[in-house]
Amino acid sequence: MKKKIIITTVVVGIIIILIIANLASSSGLQVQVEKVKRGVVKNIVSAPGAVESPNEVNISSDVMGKLVKLYVEEGDTVKEGNLLAKLDDTEARANYEKAKSFYESQKANYQQKKEEFQRKKVLYEKGLISKKEFDDAKTALLLAENSLKQAESDVVSAKDRLDKYTIKSPISGIVTQVKVKEGENVITGTMNNPGTVLLTITNIRQMDMVADVDESEIPLVNVGDTAEISIDAFPDTVFMGIVYNITGKPRSTGESVSFPVRIEILNPPEDIFPGMSGDCDIVVEKKTNVLRIPIQALVSRKRKDGVFIVKDGKAVFTPVKKGMVGERYVEILEGVEEGDPVIIGPFKAIKEIKDGQRVSYRTNKGGNRVNKDK
């Protein structure tokens, strides 16, 4: 009895295996299919980078002195001409007042010499004084005029120096760094010693992504190329940009060489700041409204490029003529038509599938997997 049970169990198992094998054979190899559509094919160069402002100004002082007042803090928004800081201007103001006083005295002296010259001129014309007296009056007027001009120049110079103790913003932007405190002494720079940097103003109306493009790919990049920019601080946003400068000076890390490519970020948000890191995809070649297939669908059989199209439940190898090869899609010039169901996966199936093999499939609806070729 026990022997009969064992035999029955083995027979049932074999039958089940045969049924499963028969079902698998009838259903065919499981594949994923996407219909051929028109769309964009583009080739990109990817590179890491960091946000920089092309208009960032380090504010230094043209004069030495003690910082007596700081009017801004980091993060403050300033406009061109806004007051930033003030140095102790006691001595400069005294010199300015002295220059003004001297100017006024020279102005009065000039007016006196001018009136005296006018009187002597009339007397000379009437023959009542000698030519020497007339010439002396004329010389005295010229000397007074020169002294007045010099005094006026001294006033302008003293005022200019006094103004330098009051530091104003040369641009509109954000105060991104403050490097001094009230009470500190500020020094000016020399050829061998940089002066005190008080603070940094950054113009946030224009922000760039400076991408480090590998030396092997830099020949592909051109001024005017568009770019898609991802910034780590904004994980859900892709910013558009335009390449406007390719630096000829390489950067070397010892293991690789890259070239800085400056990309203007179009419509940057107000809360984007220099130093933020990210990545960019520079579109170096692009075609629109072309027949395309996912790049993984392209296979080679007997040294011919082609795809497997599903016809009557079978995978049929179809030779194609490819055009531009993008990062995710391939342009197809000949061999397929819009709407043809092309096998795109799984990878193992595409690698091993045979021409004419029976398949069953599910359609990748819409054909828009997570990618950037839209």
Residues 27-86: pLDDT tens digits?
Answer: 578 899 999 999 999 999 999 999 988 888 889 888 999 999 999 999 898 999 999 999
Sequence-distant (≥ 6) Cβ neighbours of residue 159 within 8 angstroms: 96, 99
Cα torsion at 11, 13, 14, 15 (round to 10°)? 90
Predicted confidence (pLDDT) at residue 237 exceeds the cutoff of 50: yes
Question: Which fold would CATH assign to domain 58-87+165-202?
Answer: OB fold (Dihydrolipoamide Acetyltransferase, E2P) (2.40.50)
**Beta-carbon neighbour count of residue 209 at 10 Å?**
29
**Beta-carbon neighbour count of residue 182 at 10 Å?**
11
Question: What is the rounded CA–CA span in Å between residue 113 and residue 152?
Answer: 17
Instruction: Pick one of 2.60.120.200, 3.30.70.1450, 2.102.10.10, 2.40.420.20 as the CATH number of 28-39+288-367.
Output: 2.40.420.20
**Residue 172 pLDDT grade (very low, low, confident, very high; cuts 50, 70, 90):** confident
**pLDDT at residue number 248:** 79
47, two tokens: 């590179």
Residues 186-223: pLDDT tens digits?
Answer: 888 665 566 788 999 988 778 999 999 999 999 999 99
SS3 174: strand
Residues of the chain with CATH 2.40.30.170: 45-54+204-286
SS3 372: coil
63, two tokens: 């004069």
With contact defined as beta carbons under 8 Å apart, do 3 and 318 qualify?
no
62, two tokens: 């043209």
Residues of the chain with CATH 1.10.287.470: 90-163
Look up the CATH number of domain 45-54+204-286.
2.40.30.170
Burial-class residue 21 by CB neighbours within 10 Å (0-12, 13-18, 19+). Answer: exposed
Instruction: Pick one of 1.10.287.470, 1.10.10.10, 3.40.50.2300, 2.40.50.100 as the CATH number of 90-163.
Output: 1.10.287.470
